[in-house]
Amino acid sequence: MAKSRATVVVENNGLLFSSLAEQVKLPFVQIAHAAELHKLQPSKQNLSELHKTIAVTSAAALQLIDGYLLHIRLQQQAELRLEPVSISSLLYDTAQKLDAFAKAHDCVLQLDVKGKYGPVMGRHDVLKTALESLGYAFVEALSGQNDKKPVLKLIARRSKQGLATGIYSELDSLSAKLFRQAKFLKGIARQPLNEFTPGSGAGVFVADALLSRLDCTMKVSKYQGFNGLSVTLAPSHQLSLV
């Protein structure tokens, strides 16, 4: 018997929550280890590391939890009212938010927004949370694979359908097939996204869930030799001056 839509939604939320819970263990482990280090070897340096670890990792964990909660809230809304959103300013804010986390993981963050882009139709809170979730997930993925200092790019570019925006890196392990399979197996300890990231990849799944509520499909795409996940948004004509 086919599952009802409600059953599918509940099951998906359960898998997403499992994935999130697995991911959120990591910041707690990092904080616990930093605290133990300072307890065993009290020093100014270890105290400073403890403060830094708490600040950086708790921000990432809280962001992920907020993303999940936003997804649940959006599911409860029958209709989502879209609004004009400036992608350039959104990417700038996202880069600012990710900066400390990227530095802690030795990642170089680059903003690639060439040219002037008009607003797109979307929801500022949803797009911001989705891009941040994706950003945190990419930083952790890069940190786990590269010996050299990896580069993470936040990109906006014109496409035939509107404005494409997303997060890109030099990692080539992320493919459309892998991403498709991973979405079905999220919440499982060893799932296909482990080819890309050592964690549960919850940030990727949360971003995907949020963007799907905007009727956008997050896709694996390539741009100037970089590989990433992006979404295409329709332009808003509400604020066009010409």
Partner 1 sequence: MNILLLEPNRLLAKQYTDFLESVGHKVIWRQNAQSGIGAADELKPDIVISEILLTGHSGVEFLYEFRSYGDWQNIPVILLGNVKKGDSGLSVEALKELKVGAYFYKPQMKLADLAKTVQLLTDA
- Of 2-10, 127-135, 136-144, 155-163, the segment contacting partner 1 by CB under 8 A is 136-144
By CB under 8 A, name the one of 44, 76, 116, 147 that touches partner 1: 147
Q: Does residue 37 belong to the site contacting partner 1 (CB under 8 A)? A: yes
β pairing state of 120-122 and 219-223: unpaired
Contact present, 54 and 66 (Cβ < 8 Å): no
Q: Does residue 105 belong to the site contacting partner 1 (CB under 8 A)? A: yes
Query: How far is Cα 18 from Cα 11, in angstroms, rounded to an integer?
Result: 11
Contact present, 111 and 222 (Cβ < 8 Å): no
Q: Does residue 205 belong to the site contacting partner 1 (CB under 8 A)? A: no
CB of 8 to partner 1, least distance (A): 25
Amino acid at 210: L
By CB under 8 A, name the one of 129, 197, 221, 230 that touches partner 1: 197
Q: Does residue 25 belong to the site contacting partner 1 (CB under 8 A)? A: yes
Closer residue to partner 1 in complex, CB, 119/135? 135
The whole-angstrom distance between residue 192's C-alpha and the CA centroid of its chain comes to 17
Structural element, H or E, at residue 219: strand 219-223
Q: Does residue 40 belong to the site contacting partner 1 (CB under 8 A)? A: yes
